[in-house]
């Protein structure tokens, strides 16, 4: 395996134009980006710079206009989608972690985490068992039988991370995952993402404005007007 980035995330020359003619917006302009398996990178940029557009393209939520994307060793886009089932791609290859945990209020913690596994065709007992293993790794197994409304904000976010990991995706896309948290909880979430990335060899992109966590990234991509450039970060806390 000479080229590790082929198994993580590789984006080459990715462009996205919204609309056409005079009102067209070039939200991404030939973006290049790589994230190795086990690596957590930050994606930082001002409002309107293209962060959400990049995550949505990677997450197969919107169609790019041109370029290439490889996720977990599979070329998924090459001036057009290369795979027939985008829903299966989202379910099996990508874990999403959002600012709001979006837990299902009428399912307990275990079932919230197990649900994506069940939807991927695994039996309920096995899915629940895997959910509990992840909840244990994330130090929230003692809340396995609780309902989401009974959890603290930090616990809810850890459950959401467990849910994002339950199908063992090669890629996690995290959009402002620490925004609602105080600094102790924010650092805990970032530590967990780093630990999980290492343990499961997941490639993680964290979009953030959160000054508290920016120093934790070893590599940071800045984005401005749809153009990215890379900076070596400090990686202080987790280096
Ligand atoms: N559906 C759309 N139609 C047209 N233009 C869009 C659409 N979505 C986003 N844009 C434009 O694309 C550019 C990038 O937007 P994007 O939402 O990716 O930025 P962002 O960095 O995520 O911003 P924020 O931090 O405010 O969420 C902006 O100029 C935005 O106005």
Residue nearest (by alpha carbon) to ligand 1 atom 25: 47
Question: Does ligand 1 lie within 6 Å of residue 25's CB atom?
Answer: yes
- Predicted ipTM? 0.98
Express each pLDDT in 138-163 by its tens digit.
Answer: 889 999 999 999 999 889 988 998 99
Q: Which atom of ligand 1 is nearest to the CA of 50?
A: 18
- The topology under which CATH files domain 36-62+85-232 is Rossmann fold (3.40.50)
Q: pLDDT-derived band of residue 238, with 50, 70 and 90 as boundaries?
A: low
Question: Does ligand 1 lie within 6 Å of residue 228's CB atom?
Answer: no
Question: Does ligand 1 lie within 6 Å of residue 239's CB atom?
Answer: no
Using the predicted structure, report yes or no on whether residue 2 has a pLDDT greater than 50: no
Express each pLDDT in 125-144 by its tens digit.
Answer: 999 999 999 899 888 999 99
Transcribe 19-69 into DSSP letters.
Answer: S-GGG-EEEEEEEEEEE-TT-EEEEE--TTSSHHHHHHHHTTSS--SEEEE
Q: Which 8-state DSSP code applies to residue 127?
A: H
Strand 227-232 to 219-224 pairing:
antiparallel
Choose from 43-52, 86-95, 161-170, 193-202 the range with maximum mean pLDDT.
43-52
Question: Does ligand 1 lie within 6 Å of residue 27's CB atom?
Answer: yes
User: 86-104 b/e with 16+ CB inside 10 Å = b?
Assistant: eeebbbbbbbbbebebebe
Question: Does ligand 1 lie within 6 Å of residue 44's CB atom?
Answer: no
Query: How many other CB atoms are found less than 10 A from the CB of residue 207?
Result: 22
* Nearest CA among 40, 45, 94 for reference residue 69: 94
Contact 169, 8 (CB under 8 A): no
Using the predicted structure, report yes or no on whether residue 1 has a pLDDT greater than 60: no
Express each pLDDT in 27-61 by its tens digit.
Answer: 999 999 999 999 999 999 999 999 999 999 999 99
CA atoms within 13 A on the CB side of 73: 10
Which of 18, 56, 58 should be mutated for ligand 1, with most atoms under 8 A from CB?
18
Using the predicted structure, report yes or no on whether residue 96 has a pLDDT greater than 80: yes
Ligand 1 centroid – CA 82 distance (Å): 25
Query: How many other CB atoms are found less than 10 A from the CB of residue 196?
Result: 23
Ligand 1 centroid – CA 68 distance (Å): 20
């Amino acid at each position: 395996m000479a080229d590790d980035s082929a198994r993580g995330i590789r984006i080459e020359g990715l462009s996205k134009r919204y609309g056409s003619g005079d009102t067209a917006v070039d939200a991404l302009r030939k973006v290049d980006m790589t994230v190795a398996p086990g690596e957590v990178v930050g994606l930082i940029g001002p409002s309107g710079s293209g962060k959400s557009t990049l995550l949505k393209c990677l997450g197969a939520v919107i169609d790019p206009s041109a370029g290439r994307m490889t996720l977990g060793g599979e070329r998924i886009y090459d001036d057009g989608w290369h795979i027939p089932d985008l829903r299966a791609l989202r379910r099996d290859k990508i874990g999403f972690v959002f600012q709001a945990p979006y837990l299902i209020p009428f399912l307990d913690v275990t079932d919230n985490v197990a649900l994506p596994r069940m939807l991927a065709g695994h039996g309920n007992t096995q899915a629940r068992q895997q959910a509990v293993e992840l909840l244990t790794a994330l130090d929230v197994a003692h809340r396995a039988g609780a309902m989401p409304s009974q959890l603290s904000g930090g616990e809810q976010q850890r459950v959401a991370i467990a849910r994002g990991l339950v199908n063992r995706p090669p890629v996690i896309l995290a959009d402002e995952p620490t925004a609602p948290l105080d600094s102790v909880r924010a650092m805990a979430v970032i530590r967990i993402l780093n630990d999980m990335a290492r343990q499961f060899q997941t490639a993680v992109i964290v979009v953030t404005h959160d000054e508290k966590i920016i120093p934790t990234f070893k590599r940071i991509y800045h984005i401005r007007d749809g153009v990215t450039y890379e900076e070596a970060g400090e990686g202080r806390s987790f280096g």
